[in-house]
Chains A and B, each alone.
Chain A
Amino acid sequence: MFRSLAPPEYLAKIDTIKCIRCKRCIQNCGWGVYSWGGDKVLINTSKCVKCLRCFHYCPEEAIEIVDSPTRFKSNAYWGWNVIRNIKRQAETGGIPLTGMGSDLPYTILFDNLLIDACQVTNPSIDPLREPMELRTYLGKKPSKASFETGLDGKLRLKEKLPPQIKLKLPIIFSPMSYGSISLNAQKVLAMAAKECGIVMNTGEGGLHEDLFPYKSNVIVQVASGRFGVNPDYLNAGVAVEIKIGQGAKPGIGGHLPGEKIPLEVARTRMIPVGTDAISPAPQHDIYSIEDLRQLIYAIKEATNYKPVSVKIAAVHNVAAIASGIVRAGADIVYLDGFRGGTGAAPSVIRDHLGIPIEHAIAAVDDRLRQEGIRNEASIIAAGGIRSSADAAKAIALGADAVGIATAALITMGCTTCGKCYTGNCSWGITTQRPELTARLDPEVYAERLINLVHAWEHELKEILGALGINAIESLRGNRERLRGVGLDSQTLDILGVKPAGR
């Protein structure tokens, strides 16, 4: 039998004294690590991804999953994954795939930025006593307002604004398609979005009919595969997003394998059961900015002028691209940094293409201001937002709102094992296997996601209070309240942030 020279990453261990042979680990593992050997559980550790499902569901705490102690000789240059990938490629001739965002140790700019706080000269504000406002509106705003006073002496707005997406706090759930994640996972997002007064994004997978009741909390996405796109779909949500690129895999398309396309996914995507769903790298009707403009306006015409968002990966020239997108008529620019997650991407692409979201926000916000068009579109920043602090820093750099996806999946059980592309997710998130998806009870996990959003909401209010401001718009683009630690002067210059101590 062929045995790979790429050694297993993890070692699954069962304490045979503690083990009561209940076989729950066998049932719970989506990867086939465990099997029944007649009198004990057998372990095929090479299949283990360390998702910890078995660990959590073992009633006797008999299971331990450790990083395999058997490693190649340690080498700071030829690292474990480097050698392992070469061996796998030598055996298969293929492109190693991965899921989630890049885990390589590039500098994390968020962790080198610190937020200001008030002392003496300006009082801090207690969010438990004073109003603290996080409400955010996404969409195109005119540069100035005009009002009139009617004959009745009442104030009126002269020219109505283009439609806006109202968010209770500046967070949205980033696009994850039905297909890449399970319907139950999408239901968690939809229920939480509704409860929290924010929105979710369908990703490129159509809108399943079970999500129709949540339409006012949904942004529908149109991407290069055009899956699930029809007039009803376009009109279903509060806005339409054109996906050009994704932070985890800029410049390449998507590939949902046929194994993840059972009947329901196929119906929602409007494709045959079991066929691979290929999203081409470019949109085949967009080869330049003027083509994008046509699509933006085609969608606006089809939707009676709902806001249109354009999602791009953060790449080197992101500022100029974003400026073009705004001038092409987009109401929202969605920036996805290179740390952003993915259901499936070649490792080489995920780990080596794109730029950090922090740089992208700063560059785009600066450029739109220099051109005097910052009001023309809102900026959503996503791609590695891990906490309310990251969100606050992204907003201070210039984003209107942030998108979170990995954090939302973690509330559903995800441990960022990175094997989403296999369709075996033991937590029922990135899989379509019915016995696995059934584990993800939407109501139970929606409550956890709601808890997370509420917790971040409280934390954002505490941060604003410490900053002595009581509305999120006073943090937006307020880089004066950020300081860099250990960043070189050029990086600080690009971020528009002073070093700590100055």
Chain B
Amino acid sequence: MNHDYQKDISGCGLTGLISKKRRRVSGSSIVKSLCLMNDRGNGLGAGYAAYGIYPDFKDFYAFHIMYDDAGVRFSAEEYLKNNYHIEKIEEIPTCPVKAIPISPLLMRYFVSPLKDRLVGDTRPDDFVVSTVMKVNSEIEGAYIFSSGKNMGAFKGVGNPCDIAEFFKIEEYEGWTWTAHTRFPTNTPGWWGGAHPFTLLDWSIVHNGEISSYGINKRYLEMYGYKLTLLTDTEVAAYMLDLLIRRHGLSISMACQALAAPFWKNIDSKETDEAEALTALRQIYGSALLNGPFSILFGHANGLVGINDRIKLRPLVAAAKDDVVYMASEESAIRAICPSPEKVWSPRAGEPVVVELEKK
């Protein structure tokens, strides 16, 4: 087990929105919202994630991969071709931006695992996760930064507006959006280090520093996760993957593992519930994300906002019509929704869970 790593820390601003009726919203709103919080970042990282953007390829996993050079692309594609049916390969469309003089090679693949690779009980999702782990930890210079279906992440080193322009974010339409601007305090700009961080259709944007990182990392390693990014966000993403997808917890229970209720609150509940929550803490003590954070995580069926257990980072939510907004600052919401029907500050550790209406 490698312990001699340098952890990546940063402060941040985040914003997100979801249309419960699956109305596809242009990326321009989220860009406007994020750019209002420019001073929460320092130009060393910004990114966007959107759901519902690839309706024509919704049954394929959309791999967004960044390569340091063309040689790496060759070896990564070799690996993909051996394991996946590739429906389409294309460069991710970008637009030259003065403020972004250099960028990695950015490719997009719509793929599905080859049937004969799914041995035994391996489900396609598990196979994709193992591919992501393998490529990101073993192929130097290649990095899969998005791997879900009908969703995608776009991120890089730059200001929110420049990154948006570079990736032509305004041309995408999605029903759930998350976005993030970053204030890293110790890392050189690396495109993979920007948020959102994704795995399958989980996408995470995160503001905070998880002080329990060391044990969270070791706990995840016990379940085969390889933490290559050394960011808190990566921990949050894998933790949700473990608790929800692999252990079958509900989103609400997973949130209560990540931001556990205090013992005194658990003890005051009725017997059955107290027993259940006690067990949750006993079993998932190492999954508790301790330290300041606010997190938005998007998934195929909704958007969740959650704060740490004593709310050491800001998170504001608002609703209007079928849209729910969540952001670090209320102003970022009002920038795109001037008169929401309801604005509230979610309490510490109490998740805001928004689900898409059934189709």
Interface residues of A (CB under 8 A from B): 118, 121-123, 125, 130-131, 133, 135, 137, 141-147, 150, 154-157, 160-161, 164, 366, 369-370, 372, 374-375, 467-471, 473-481, 492-493, 496-498, 502
- B253 lies within 8 A of A471 (CB): no
List the 3 closest A-B pairs by CB distance, nearest first.
A480-B214, A473-B285, A474-B212
Hey, which chain B residues are within 8 Å of A374, CB to CB?
222
- B263 lies within 8 A of A135 (CB): yes
- A468 lies within 8 A of B291 (CB): yes
- B280 lies within 8 A of A145 (CB): yes
Q: Can you name the residue of chain B whose Cβ is closest to the Cβ of A118?
A: B211
Q: A131-B262, A369-B222, A471-B260 are in contact. Are A477 and B279 (CB under 8 A)?
A: no
Hey, which chain A residues are within 8 Å of B263, CB to CB?
133, 135
Q: A123-B312, A130-B310, A498-B3 are in contact. Are A474 and B279 (CB under 8 A)?
A: no
- A155 lies within 8 A of B272 (CB): yes
- B217 lies within 8 A of A154 (CB): no
Q: Can you name the residue of chain A whose Cβ is closest to the Cβ of B309?
A: A470
- A476 lies within 8 A of B286 (CB): yes
Give the contacting residue for B3; candidates A123, A143, A144, A497; CB below 8 A. Answer: A497
Is B104 interfacial (CB-CB < 8 Å)? no
- A474 lies within 8 A of B290 (CB): yes
Q: A145-B284, A157-B272, A474-B288 are in contact. Are A498 and B4 (CB under 8 A)?
A: yes
Q: A372-B222, A468-B291 are in contact. Are A476 and B262 (CB under 8 A)?
A: no
**Nearest chain A CB to B261 CB, angstrom units:** 11
Is B91 interfacial (CB-CB < 8 Å)? no
- B248 lies within 8 A of A375 (CB): no
Q: A155-B276, A164-B282 are in contact. Are A469 and B211 (CB under 8 A)?
A: yes
**Nearest chain A CB to B201 CB, angstrom units:** 21
Highest count of chain A CB atoms <10 Å: which of B10, B215, B284: B215
**Nearest chain B CB to A239 CB, angstrom units:** 16
Query: Complex: how many Å from CA A365 to CA B253?
Result: 27
**Nearest chain A CB to B15 CB, angstrom units:** 21
Q: Can you name the residue of chain A whose Cβ is closest to the Cβ of B280?
A: A145
Highest count of chain B CB atoms <10 Å: which of A118, A122, A160, A498: A122
Is B221 interfacial (CB-CB < 8 Å)? yes
Highest count of chain B CB atoms <10 Å: which of A469, A480, A492, A493: A480
- How many of chain B's residues touch chain A, expressed as a range? 35 or more
- B215 lies within 8 A of A477 (CB): yes
- B250 lies within 8 A of A147 (CB): yes
Q: Can you name the residue of chain A whose Cβ is closest to the Cβ of B4?
A: A498
Highest count of chain B CB atoms <10 Å: which of A374, A471, A474, A492: A474
Hey, which chain B residues are within 8 Å of A370, CB to CB?
1
Hey, which chain B residues are within 8 Å of A143, CB to CB?
283
- B283 lies within 8 A of A478 (CB): no
Interface 1/0s, chain B 1-17, versus A by CB < 8 A? 10110110111000000
Is B121 interfacial (CB-CB < 8 Å)? no
- A155 lies within 8 A of B273 (CB): yes
Hey, which chain A residues are within 8 Å of B339, CB to CB?
none
Is B218 interfacial (CB-CB < 8 Å)? yes
Query: Complex: how many Å from CA A219 to CA B290?
Result: 32
**Nearest chain A CB to B190 CB, angstrom units:** 18
Q: Can you name the residue of chain A whose Cβ is closest to the Cβ of B212?
A: A474
Q: A121-B9, A122-B291 are in contact. Are A476 and B276 (CB under 8 A)?
A: no
Give me 19 other A-B pairs in contact (C-beta within 8 A), A122-B291, A496-B1 excluded: A122-B209, A122-B211, A135-B263, A143-B283, A145-B249, A150-B272, A155-B277, A157-B276, A374-B222, A467-B211, A468-B211, A469-B211, A474-B290, A477-B219, A479-B3, A492-B4, A497-B3, A498-B4, A502-B6
Q: Can you name the residue of chain A whose Cβ is closest to the Cβ of B252?
A: A155
- B185 lies within 8 A of A481 (CB): no
Hey, which chain A residues are within 8 Å of B292, CB to CB?
122-123, 468
**Nearest chain B CB to A497 CB, angstrom units:** 7
Interface 1/0s, chain B 220-239, versus A by CB < 8 A? 01110000000000000000
- 26 example contacts (A-B, Cβ-Cβ < 8 A) are as follows A121-B9, A121-B10, A123-B292, A144-B246, A144-B248, A147-B249, A147-B250, A147-B253, A156-B275, A157-B279, A160-B275, A160-B279, A161-B279, A161-B282, A369-B221, A468-B211, A468-B291, A470-B310, A471-B285, A473-B285, A474-B215, A474-B288, A474-B290, A480-B217, A493-B3, A498-B4
Q: Can you name the residue of chain A whose Cβ is closest to the Cβ of B2?
A: A496
- B272 lies within 8 A of A476 (CB): no
Q: Can you name the residue of chain A whose Cβ is closest to the Cβ of B265?
A: A131
Query: Complex: how many Å from CA A204 to CA B91?
Result: 72
Hey, which chain B residues are within 8 Å of A121, CB to CB?
9-11, 185, 209
Hey, which chain B residues are within 8 Å of A369, CB to CB?
1, 218, 221-222
